[in-house]
Structure formats: C-alpha cells, structure tokens
Structure 1
Amino acid sequence: VSGSTNGGFYRPAGAEGSVSIEECPQKCDYRCSATKRQEPCLKYCNICCQKCLCVPSGTSGNKEECPCYNNLKSSQGNSKCP
C-alpha cells in the first residue's frame, strides 16, 4: 500500500475535509489558544470548522490552506473565521 494513506482519503493538515466534526473543538482550542478573545474565536472557529471540515494550521494566518474557511464572510463582508 505504498503511497496511499487512509484508503486514499488522506488530506494534508488544514486542507478541506482534513478534520472530522468531532475534531473541531480540539482543533479550534489550538487555533484560538493565542488570542485574548477566546470566546468569540472559539465560537466562529467551530462554526467554520463544522461547515468546511478544516482549520488552518497554527494559531493565526495560513488560511490559504483552507479556501472554504478563508472565504466565509460575515454580513459586514469581513472574514468570519479566525
């Protein structure tokens, strides 16, 4: 089974579909660990994770890893996902 991982369903860290809904809270805990605004960060990260099934790597930035997460906008046109 050289070159395939998880039956061909492997996704690199941060890529869409790389996170299961059950993993969202853990991924968002890390994503929001460096912010002073924990509550809103966790709320929106989890919303975005459940919709996109991904969370970018690191505590900020890297949103290009997950276009769905990156492209979700608030009603004001700002980035919805932390």
Structure 2
Amino acid sequence: MSGDDTSPASRPSPLDLTLAVAHARALRAAGEPRRAAAVLDAAFGGEGRGSERARRDALVLRAQLALELRGAGRA
C-alpha cells in the first residue's frame, strides 16, 4: 500500500458543524480562542455538514473570535 492512498476510506469525513461549534465554544471558555478559531476554520474549509442554524452559529462564533483575537493583538 502506498503512502498516497486517496480512497474514500482514507480521507477524513467533513466535520459536523454542530460538533465544531461545541468544540470551539469549549476551547474559547478554556481560554484558547486561537484554537477555537482553527477548529471552525477547519470545519468550513472541509465543507462541514450542518443545518442552516449550525452554519449561522458557526459564523457568529467565528466573527466573535475574530474580534476577540483582534482586540487581544492590540493590548
């Protein structure tokens, strides 16, 4: 078996946006806003599955994290 196997079983499945939002909220509460943002970015980059509500929640949380990170950079 070669190291460049791209069969469907070897590729990661898209991250569920509901799980990504929950994980990002936990990371944010733990004082890890950069990691929380990275989780959401990965979910969007992987075309994560989710309802319209989950997509909205993810977008709102990502925007809040961007503002937090921008504010932290100024301090």
Task: Tell me the TM-score normalized by structure 2.
Answer: 0.32
**Structure number with bigger Rg:** 2
| Higher relative helix content | 2
Q: TM-score, normalised by structure 1?
A: 0.30
Greater relative CO, 1 or 2 (CA 8 Å, sep 6+): 2
